[in-house]
Amino acid sequence: MDLFLSTFENKLDRKGRLSVPARYRAVFERNGTPLYLYKSLTQSCLEGCGTERISQIVDAIDEMDVLSEDTLTLQTMLSSAQEMKLDNEGRVMLSDDFIDYAGLSDSALFVGIGRSFQIWDPEQWRPLEQDARNNAKNGKMPKLTLTRSTNRGDV
C-alpha cells in the first residue's frame, strides 16, 4: 500500500501552478491513477488522494441512508473534487476557488497524512501542528491501537 508521508513546501506561481512533490507523484505514476483534490470538510485546506481513496468514500456513501445529513455532507465533499492533470514539470493548475478556499498565496505546504494528503497555507498549518505536538507533550494523546496490517503481503 502506498502512503503519503512527510511535509513538503512548494511555491505557487502567479498562474496558480503548484509542483506536486516527487514522492507523491510517484504514487500516482506507480498505480496509474489520477490525482484528485477537493476542499476539506473540516479544515481550511485542500485534500488530495487517488482513485482508491475516492472509491472508498463513494462506497461508504452507497452504504448510507441516501436522505441522511451524513450522506449530504460526504456528497458535498465529493462535489468539490477535481481530477488534476500534471504537466510535464509535475505541476497542477489550481483553480481560483481552490486557492481562495485554502488561503494560499506564494507557497503551499503538502502534509502527508497516510492514505491522503493535505495542502495548506504554511502559516495556517504551523500553529495547528504546534498545538498537536503540545497536546501530545501534555498527555492529550489519542488512543492508538496498532494492529498488524493485512495489506503487506505477510504470511
Q: Would you place residue 152 in the very low, low, confident or very high pLDDT band (cuts 50, 70, 90)?
A: low
Query: What pLDDT sits at residue 155?
Result: 39
Taking alpha carbons only, the member of 87, 84, 112, 86 closest to residue 98 is 84
Name the grid cell of 34: 489520477
Q: Which of 46-60, 66-80, 99-113: highest mean pLDDT?
A: 99-113
Dump pLDDT digits (tens) for 101-151.
Answer: 999 999 999 999 999 999 999 999 999 999 999 998 998 888 878 887 665
The 10 Å Cβ neighbour count of residue 46 is: 24
89: helix, strand or coil: coil
**Stated pTM of the model:** 0.87
Dump pLDDT digits (tens) for 8-42.
Answer: 999 999 999 999 999 999 999 999 999 999 999 99
DSSP 108-144: EEEEE-BSSEEEE-HHHHHHHHHHHHHHHHTT-PPP-
List domains and CATH numbers for the chain. Answer: 7-137 (3.40.1550.20)
